[in-house]
Amino acid sequence: MSDSSGLHATRLPGGRGEPIEITVDGERVACFAGETVAAALLAAGVPEFSRRGGEPRLPLCNMGTCFECGVTVDGVPLTRACLLAVSAGMTVETSRA
């Protein structure tokens, strides 16, 4: 499809991946293969991913530069949730407490 400027727009394929489950702070969370950990946590209603200076943190840039989405994934701390796709059985820990 092109507009009057002659530029072409392309849509990415739609749809979601297979339904899978991950564990977030000890609770099972349903999500879809192919989405990011950040998307899965936000869709699950996780209110904060971490705290710094006493302030709650959530994803900001969603492109890997700010580290506001840092969580522990399968034991690896400060994993940027916005860059990592979920996988079945993955364990995610926020620093909520």
Residue 67 is a binding residue for ligand FES (CB under 6 A): yes
**Are 93 and 71 in contact, with CB atoms under 8 Å apart?**
yes
The answer to whether residue 61 forms part of the interface with ligand FES (CB under 6 A) is yes
Q: For the CB of residue 67, give the shortest distance to ligand FES in the complex, in Å.
A: 5
User: Are the C-beta atoms of residues 67 and 80 closer than 8 Å to each other?
Assistant: yes
Report, in angstroms and rounded to the nearest whole number, the Rg of the chain calculated over CA atoms.
16
Binding test (CB under 6 A) with ligand FES, winner from 25, 35, 44, 66: 66
To 5 degrees, how large is the angle CA 42–CA 22–CA 37?
40
In sequence order, the 6+-apart residues with CB closer than 8 A to the CB of 14 are: none
Nearer to ligand FES, 29 or 57 (CB): 57
Among 39, 82, 90, 92, binds ligand FES (CB under 6 A): 82
Interface with ligand FES (CB under 6 A), residue from 50, 59, 71, 86: 59
Site residues (CB under 6 A) for ligand FES?
59-62, 64-69, 80, 82
